[in-house]
């Protein structure tokens, strides 16, 4: 795996971003935020990339920010963490996570930006901001109530108590729970299914699912504009040709 605190690999059109500080429970430093942000930005501009997959080395996914590093670098408009937050909010690429053990702070709020989360049975999510005299970040004060409802979100955010894997699944915070050691394999399998689908259609569908457009008519107009563009696309023509010829489409 190497000694780099973030390991970034491209496997079968998927950018895998692995937090690699197992001795520190993958607590995130400024340098790590910079590396992750750059990888996300690059993936977004590369049409060959079909998904981004996050994972963590060792027995924890991410214990949150490295507080010593965080305190030694006062936040400014140029802080790598802000570049990272902008990247996860703006990327058009489907984001997947394979998690285990502790997912604390940014380790938990990152998952709210993911489109598929596979959790090992050991996983716990913890939004512990108030416990360290901070407030939610990564738009989690918006996204968590959307996911679980206002009252449950208030409980999770105000008390900061751990949420175990199966409860997280019941709340809609993770997609599936698997045996320990199996999360990455299941996440890669999901990414592989995505990789053979029409790439623009996948990205646009993600955009629509995460859109802030409010109201049926406004959302319908947004869908219609993208739908019309897709009708004229090469990948739609390939999909129709493959259907007519009774073969698998090739979107490579």
Q: Write out the chain's pLDDT in tens, 252 residues.
A: 568 999 999 999 999 999 999 999 999 999 999 999 999 999 999 999 999 999 999 999 999 999 899 888 878 888 999 999 999 999 999 999 999 999 999 999 999 999 999 999 999 999 999 999 999 999 999 999 999 999 999 999 999 999 999 999 999 999 999 999 999 999 999 999 999 999 999 999 999 999 999 999 999 999 999 999 999 999 999 999 999 999 999 998
Out of 1.10.287.3510, 3.90.226.10, 1.10.357.10, 3.30.70.360, the CATH code matching 6-195 is: 3.90.226.10
Distance CA 13, CA 17 (A): 13
Domain spans in the chain, listed from the N-terminal domain onward? 6-195, 199-244
Q: What is the pTM of this model?
A: 0.94
Cβ atoms within 10 A of the Cβ of 171, count? 17
> Quick one: tokens of 204?
């646009």
> Quick one: tokens of 23?
């001795």
Distance CA 113, CA 30 (A): 20
Distance CA 102, CA 164 (A): 10
DSSP 117: E
Residues sharing a CB contact under 8 Å with residue 166, sequence separation 6 or more, in sequence order: 121, 177
């Amino acid at each position: 795996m190497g000694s780099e605190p973030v390991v970034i690999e491209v496997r079968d059109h998927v950018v895998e971003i692995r937090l690699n500080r197992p001795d520190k429970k993958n607590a995130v430093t400024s340098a790590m935020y910079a590396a992750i942000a750059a990888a996300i930005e690059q993936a977004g501009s590369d049409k060959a990339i079909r998904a981004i997959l996050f994972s963590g080395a060792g027995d924890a996914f991410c214990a949150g920010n490295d507080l010593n590093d965080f305190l030694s670098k006062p936040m400014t408009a140029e802080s790598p963490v802000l570049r990272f937050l902008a990247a996860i909010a703006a990327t058009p690429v489907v984001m997947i996570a394979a998690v285990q053990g502790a997912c604390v702070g940014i380790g938990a709020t990152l998952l709210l930006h993911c489109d598929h989360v596979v959790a090992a049975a050991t996983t716990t999510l913890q939004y512990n901001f108030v416990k360290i005299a901070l407030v939610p970040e990564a738009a989690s004060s918006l996204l968590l109530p959307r996911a679980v409802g206002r009252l449950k979100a208030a409980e999770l955010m105000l008390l900061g108590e751990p949420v175990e894997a199966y409860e997280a699944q019941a709340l809609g915070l993770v997609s599936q729970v698997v045996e320990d050691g199996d999360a990455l394999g299941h996440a890669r399998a999901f990414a592989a299914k995505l990789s053979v689908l029409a790439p623009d259609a996948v990205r646009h569908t993600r955009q629509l699912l995460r859109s802030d457009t409010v109201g049926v008519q406004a959302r319908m107009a947004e869908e219609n504009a993208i739908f019309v563009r897709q009708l004229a696309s090469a990948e739609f023509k390939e999909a129709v040709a493959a259907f007519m010829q009774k073969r698998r489409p090739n979107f490579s």
